[in-house]
Amino acid sequence: MFYQSEEVEILEENELSSKARSTLSEIDKNKKINEKNRKRIFNVDRQLITTTLKPNREKDEIASAEATLVYHGIRHGISYFAQQYMTNVLKKLFSSSSIASSLSCGRTKAAAIANRCFSTLPYTSCYKK
C-alpha cells in the first residue's frame, strides 16, 4: 500500500513489482554512472601527477654545488663577500659547464644556505658525542 495525500491506493502485486524493479534499475544505473565518474577523475589526476612530478636532475646538481661551495667557505672561514667572487671566477673558468654557468651563490644566498642548512651541524654532532 502507498499513501498519497490522505487517499489510499491499493496496487496489485504485478504493478508493485514492476515499479520496484524500475526504481532499483534506476538506482543501479546511477551507481554505475557515479563509479565511472569517480574512476575518470582518478585517472585524470594520476596522469597530471605523473607529468608534474618529474625529477629535475640539473637543478638538484646546481643546488648541491652551491651547498658544497658554502660548506667549503664555512669550513675554511671564507667570507660571504669572497664567496660571491669565487662563484664568479668559477663561472668564468668552467664556462662550458651548464651547472657552473647556472651557479648563483651570492652573499645573501650563501648566508641563507649557511643559516638554514649548516647551522644545526654543531648541535647534532655535540648530541651524538
Please give the full DSSP string across 61-101, using - where no structure is assigned: HHHHHHHHHHHHHHHTT--HHHHHHHHHHHHHHTTT-HHHH
pTM comes to 0.48
Q: Residue 6: is its pLDDT beyond 50? A: no
Could you read off the pLDDT of 19-54 as tens digits, one per residue?
666 666 777 777 777 776 666 554 545 555 545 555
Confidence of residue 115 (pLDDT cuts 50, 70, 90): confident
pLDDT at 4 over 50: no
